[in-house]
Every structure is written in structure tokens, then in C-alpha cells.
Amino acid sequence: MTTTTRTAPPHPPATLPSGQRRSRRAAAGRVTAVVGAVLLIGTPYLSWAYGRAALDDMTYTGGPSGLQFFSLIGGVVLLVLLLAPFRARVNGNGGARAAAIGATAYLVVIMASIALELGGLVNVDPGGWLALAGAVLALVGTLVLPAGPTPTLQRVRSPRWLQILGIVAAMAGVLFAAAYGLGQDDGGAFIAFAVFLGAAVYVTHASGLLGWLGAAAARNRQVLVLSAFVVAFAFPFTQHGSDANMSIASQVLIFAATAMGLNIVVGLAGLLDLGYVAFLGAGAFTAATLSTSAFATINWHPPFLVVVLISGAISATLGLIIGSPTLRVSGDYLAIVTLAFGEIFRITMNNLDGQDGPNLTHGSNGIPGIPNLNVLGFDFGQPHAILGVTIGRFSNYYWLMLLVIGLIILVFGNLNHSRIGRGWVAIREDEKAAEAMGVNVFGLKLLAFAGGAFLAGVAGAVKAHQDVSVTPDQYVFMESAFLVAGIVLGGMGTVGGVVVGASILKLLPEKLRFFQDYRLLMFGILLVVMMRIRPEGLMPDQRRQLEFHDEDEDMVPSPAGAQAVTGPRIQRREHR
């Protein structure tokens, strides 16, 4: 009798719980990201490019160039966010993912620039490919990490001295960024540095550091304003007497001062003006005709302070003349009328040549040979040395425009927080409702036009002396369009946003001359992207930010910043 042995069926393979699988996946991703960060730290000491003509000479081994050093900084920040014990408070996973995305974008731009400037990817040395591989590894590793909690750094109650130290450090970073960016003559290097700055802002936002700085700035506004002006005043000392860079910087300030005047019209009152550059031109032509130039057509040469007031008054008068019959229309109709006014001004200046009209501007030739300013014996055209640094004529005009912008900021801030400013905001939000509540709509509109035009005329008076000559072709429609674009890009109704937007739109064409044929395409793409991801602008007014994000939980005004909101209170919808 045979017996059969029955064997038990094999047990099915044990499976790990989902929590353990996620934990192992996160551990593997963290290790991968750490390896990528180590590569980003080490590869800058290798050669990235075969030839020295690419970017800022990345051919050295053992000595990183400036752009390579930024990759090292990115690797260090990524490593800290991955391994630091306080990463839960700053959402280390989200910050690390942002750092990896920024590093990948930065390295892609670097590799593309080397290939374009040297004639192919074959000119990228192994060090460059290793750096790109490190960025990709870091990106892959951080993508599998859990999202992590919302960063709480902005809610940390820090001592006031630490807040002031953070503001000072941020302003010092702005000074370095401005000095380094203006010093880049290579277009690819400038684009790469711009990408690095964008990545840095992205990382600080994702980690909560930007929110903490915003809260610190709201609690220490006086320190912020003082630090900003100290940094702006110190900027010429970083240029080692370079007239080329200071010329760009002074033009940026003139553009920003003009945009602040337009910000009253567009940002506060909500009136779309597409011919605003005419007021800048009116101030410039007034200053030119009253100057001591051999081509000046008016035999009266008052002091410059008087010329500034006359230039502003004439521009404001033009604002009243164009505003009185046209401000009863709004929207697209007002935009068309103001656009036509800008073209009429340019054509009129061309016709004041002694043949088609009185000889005031010499027609298309304009008024050249405008002498440098001489205020109280100080000649703005003469270079001088301060602390061993040569300060040229453009630095002198730069400091003059700083004073002008300071006065404009004082006027703008007081108007914004006054009954007049609240009336402008009410008109912008709902003109019919404002009129029903007793707001003098037409009078406030006219005041906005005249006030903005006066500020543009003041900026034009300085611009005439800095540019040495004034011609009608300098004041075309595209300049008005760039002014409006700068306000929209930076943030309507704010001072900082206008300065940032005007700086970007004025600086980019100067540094990207190789992209000149596609400049309008670049601006259009930039504005479309902004309207999609941040319609309120880079540095928006808190009121407008709430309007665009009234359903976001993280947009609740902080106690420190709530007092800055003026005008009609905005009630957010609560979701329970």
C-alpha cells in the first residue's frame, strides 16, 4: 500500500505595505537627489567649454568662472534643503524640487549657449555634461519625494534685529545682482544669469523664505525704504567708472520715473493711456528750447529748477487739454484717442521747423548740443573721484534721478493713501458706483491726467540734458506701449512693481541686442506668460492680489500687512 505525501501549496510572495513602498521610494529619491547635488557642487571645478569665447570662459580646471560658481551655489542650497534638520519647517522637499528644476533650467541654458557660441554641442566638455547629469539626477530624485507640508517659515515670530538683517541681506543681494547683470556683455551669459535669478526667487518662494522676507518688510517699511535708497546710491561705486553701464542705469531711472507718472493714470485711476510718451517729449523739448544750446530757439535761459517746473507745467497743461474733451469716454475709445494724441504730438514737433510752422524744434533735426546741467556750480558733465572711484557724468545724472524718484515716491504714496487716491481706486473698480456715491469722477480723472503728465515732464527735462539732443523720433508709440507693459509686468498701483517692470523692459533690449529683431515677440510672450501665471504682476498691490486670488487660502492678509490695504475693504469668500 503506497502512501502519498501531500505538499502544501507555495505561499504567495509577501507584499510590502504601501506606506513602506512609499518610504523606500522616497529614500531612493533622496539619495539620488543628494548624488545630483554633489555633482553640482564638484563639477564647477572642471572645464565646461572647449573654447574661451563661450560665456565667461569656462575652460579652466580647478578655478570656476562666475557662472560655474552659481551652479555650485545651487548644489549647496539643494543639499541643505535635502539634509537639513529644519527642512520640515521650510518644506525641504518642495524647496529641493524647486532648486532641482532651477538648476536643470540653468544648465540647459548654459549648454545651449556654449553650443550656439562655439558651433555645436561637441564643444561642451565632459564637466558640462556631468553638471547637467547632476541636475537631471536631482530633478528625478526630488520628483519622487512627497510634497511635504506647507512652509511655515513666514509664520515664525523672529526678533526685529533678525528681520532687519534679512532685509539688509536681501538688498545686498539686489545690489550684487544689478552690478553683475549689467557687467555681462555676452548675451548668453546675461540670459543664464537671469535664469539663475529666476530660480533663486522660485526657491525662496517654495521654501517660505520669500514670505518671511515679505512679512519682515511689512513690519519694517522704513528700514526697507532706507536700505533700498542706500543700495541705489551705492550702485555707481560697483561700476568702476563705467559710463556704458551707468548710461543704462540712468535711462532705467528716467523710464521708471515716467512709468510712475503713468501708474497714476493706469494703475490707480484705471485709464488706459497709449500716448503718454508725448508728455515726456513735451518736457524734454521745453527744457531743450530753454537751454543754452546754440540751436535753442527761445532766448531765455532760466535756472534748471525753474526749467523743471515749467516743463512739468507745460506737460500738465497738455494733459488738461487732451483730457478735458476725451475723459468722458473710457475703455478702448480712450485708448484710441490717447494713441492719436501721441502721434499728433510727434507730427507737430516735426512740423515746427520754420516751413510748416514756427521754428521751435527744427523739425526732424531736433535740438542738438544741449549742454550738461550746472546746478549751484556743480557741473554734471565733469567726472570726479569719490573714495577712489571715478564718478562720470552718467553717474551724476543717475543720482539726480534718484532724488527725483524719491520725490515722486513721496507724492505717489501720499496720493495713494489719501481721499484722492481712494477716489481713483473707486473709479477704477466701478465708475458708475463711484459716481453714485458722490465721487467727482470727471475732476479726479482730469487730476490723474494732469498729475501724471507733470511727473513725465519733470523726467523729460532731465532726459534732455542727459541725452544731449532731443528729436521727435525719440517719442514714438512703442515707447508708450513699453511704459504700459512695464506697469502691467511689475504690478499696477505699486511703486516697487513699476521700478522692477521698467528695469526689466529697459534693460533687456540693451543686453539682448542680438535678439533685437524679435524684441516685440519676446515682450508679447513675456506678457502672455505673466497673464497666465501671475496676472497681478511681479510685485502687486495687496488689494489687486486679493482680487485675482480671492479663493486662495494663503492670500489672507497678515496682521502686519493688513493695515496697508486702503480703500474699499475686500471680503473673501470663506469655504467651510
User: What is the average pLDDT value for the chain, to the nearest integer?
Assistant: 78
Contact 33, 141 (CB under 8 A): yes
How distant is the alpha carbon of residue 431 from its chain centre?
Answer: 30
Taking 60 as the threshold, does the pLDDT of residue 4 lie above it? Answer: no
Going by C-alpha positions, the residue among 354, 329, 301, 313 that lies closest to residue 465 is: 301
Taking 80 as the threshold, does the pLDDT of residue 22 lie above it? Answer: no
More confident residue, 516 or 75: 75
Tens digit of each residue's pLDDT (9 = 90 or more) over 196-232: 888 888 888 887 788 778 878 878 888 888 888 888 8
Q: Which domains does the chain have, with CATH numbers?
A: 20-231 (no CATH), 244-373+389-506 (1.10.3470)
More confident residue, 389 or 168: 168
pLDDT value of residue 551: 52
| For the chain, percent of residues with pLDDT exceeding 70 | 85
Amino acid at 412: F
pLDDT value of residue 80: 84
β partners of residue 49: 124
Per-residue HEC secondary structure of 352-369 comes to CCCCCCCCCCCHHHCECC
Going by C-alpha positions, the residue among 76, 71, 64 that lies closest to residue 34 is: 76
**pTM of the entire predicted model:** 0.78
β partners of residue 384: 391
C-alpha cell at 539: 510685485
pLDDT value of residue 251: 86
Reported as a pLDDT band with limits 50, 70 and 90, residue 541 is low
Burial class (CB in 10 A: 0-12, 13-18, 19+), 157: exposed
Residues 6+ apart with CB under 8 A from 9: none
Contact 200, 102 (CB under 8 A): yes
Tens digit of each residue's pLDDT (9 = 90 or more) over 358-382: 888 888 888 888 888 887 777 777 7
Residues 6+ apart with CB under 8 A from 323: 445, 446, 449, 450
Residues 6+ apart with CB under 8 A from 251: 506
Mean pLDDT lowest for which of 100-109, 152-161, 180-189, 299-308?
152-161
Contact 353, 467 (CB under 8 A): no
Find where cell 522660485 sits.
Answer: 202
Cα angle 266, 562, 219; round to 5: 105
What is the torsional sign of CA 258, 264, 270, 271? Answer: negative
